[in-house]
Amino acid sequence: MSLPACFTRPEDAREPLPLLLVDAAGFEAWRSAQPASVQAWLKAHAFGPRAGAPLLVPGSDGQPAFALAGIDDVRDPLALAHLPSLLPPGDYRLASDAPARPAAALVQLGWGLGAYSFSRYVKPARAPARLVLEAAPDAEALALLEAATLVRDLVNTPTEHMGPAELEAEALRLARAYGGQCRSVVGDALTDQNFPAIHAVGRASHRAPRLVELNWGDDAHPRVAIVGKGVCFDTGGLDIKPADGMRNMKKDMGGAAHALGLAQLVMALKLPVRLQLLLAAVENAIGPNAFRPGEVIATRQGLSVEIDNTDAEGRLVLCDALTYAAEGKPALLLDFATLTGAARIALGPDLPALYANDERLATDYLAAGDAARDPLWRMPLWRPYLSYLKSNVADLANSSATRMAGSITAALYLERFVPEGLAWAHVDVYAWNDSSRPGKPAGGEAQGLRAAWGLLKGRYGR
C-alpha cells in the first residue's frame, strides 16, 4: 500500500524526533514526573494540555529532545490535525509512553487530513511534518483519507479543468482501478435514451451534459445505488446568480464528488455490495437555448415539471438519475447534492442536512455519523409543504415563489421520484470550508462521507 507523503516508514525516516501527546486527564501527572529543567521549560512557555502550538523541548545539549503536543480528545479523528502544519518540517514518531494515546487509525486519519493542501496550481509554502508509522498502516483509515482527499481535490479544481467530461474521466479511472464498468450517455443521446431533464439543464453549455454510470461488484450481493449532483458550474441560468452567489459555484458538483469518494471506499475496501454509481454531470450555462422560467419540461419518470426558477437546477438533473437508479430496484438508494442555500441558513456550513423516507435508515445514518464524529442533522420530509410546488400547468413546479422551507421543498421534490417502499436518503451538503481550521482547510470538503461509509459498512460489512 502506497503511503501519502505526510507519512513514512521507519526504515525511510530521517532521525525522527519523539512526539509526546498529552491531554488534560494525564498532563499534571506527567509534568510532575519530569526533571526540573523540563518543568521550568514548560512553565516558561506557558504550555498547557490543550490543542494548540506544539513545543520542542531541548535536551542537555540544547538540541530538541522531543516534541510535546496537547490534544483535546483522543477519540476525535481530528485530534492531531493541527500538528502537520505547526510542527517544524521533519520526521516524528509517536512516543509509546505518552500520556495520551489515540487509536492508530485515528492518528493516521487526523494527521493526513491536517496535512492536506491543494497544490495543483501553487506550491505549498512548506512541506508538512511527516509521521513515522511504526506498524502496518490501517487500511480503512488510509482509504477514508484517500476518499476525503479525492472529494477535496475535485471540489477545489476550477470548472475549466473539472467539467462534465472530467467528472466522467474520474468515474472511468475508478472503474479501471477496481474492475468496474463505466458508460456515459452524452449530449443529445440523453433525449434519445429518456433523460430529458438532465439534457434540458445542460444543453446551453458548450460542454455536453451527460449521465455517467459505474457498475461494480457481484450480482449476488445487495444492490446499492449512489447518485451525485454534478453541476460543474452553476450560473443560475437565466435566473442568473449575483456575483457573490456565483463566486464559488465550481463547487456545485460537490455531490458528485462525494458520490465518487464513497464509491471509491466501497470498491477499495471490497464491501460485498452490487454498486451502481450515477453522476448527473452538467454545466448550468446561459445561451440561446438555455431552458427558461415558465417552460414545462419532461422527466424520465413521466412527470411534467414547470420551471419556476432556473437556479433550482440540481433537483432537475437528480430526478432523472434517481428514477433510473430506482429502475434497478436497489436495496438502498443514497444521493448527495449541494442542493440549497436554505440548508446552510438552517444548519450552517458544517452540518449536512439529512432526509430519509425510512426510520431505520435515518437512525442508522445518524448513529454512523456520531460514531465517526462526522455529524449530520435530520430534517423532516414535511409533506404538507408539497403545496409550495404546485403548478397550474404541470404535475409540479421545480421551486416555489415563497422563501419558506427551501431545503425541505427541494427534498420533497426529489422524493416524488423515489418509488414507495425503496429506502432512500438524501444529503444536502455544503462541501466547503469558508475558512481554515485544523484538519479543515479552506476550500472543498468531504462532509458526511465517513458517516455514509459507516452506514454501508454497518449494513453490508462482513
Residues belonging to the active site: 241, 315
∠ CA 427-431-432, nearest 5°, is 150
Cβ partners under 8 Å of residue 189, min gap 6: none
Spatial contact of 317 and 197, defined as CB atoms under 8 Å apart = yes
* Chain-centroid distance, C-alpha 428: 11
Angle at CA 172, nearest 5°, toward 150 and 157? 35
Instruction: Compute how many other C-beta atoms are within 10 angstroms of the C-beta atom of residue 350.
Output: 15
Q: Retrieve residue 388's grid coordinates.
A: 409550495
For residue 69, give the nearest of 83, 81, 59 by alpha carbon. Answer: 83
E-state strands within 270-382: 274-284, 296-297, 305-306, 332-337, 353-356, 377-378
Q: Which three cell numbers stand for residue 428?
A: 444536502
Q: How far apart are CA 40 and CA 299, in angstroms?
A: 72
Nearest to 438 by CA among 71, 67, 137, 1: 71
| Residues 244 and 232 sit within 8 Å (Cβ to Cβ) | no
- 268 vs 456: CA distance, rounded Å: 14
Q: CA angle, 418 as apex, 425 and 275 as ends, to 5°?
A: 60
End-to-end, the C-alpha distance of the chain in Å comes to 22
Distance of CA 298 to CAs 42, 201, 395, 426, Å? Answer: 69, 12, 10, 22
Return the closest-CA partner of residue 222 out of 269, 272, 259. 272
Give the integer Cα–Cα distance in Å for 284 and 203.
8
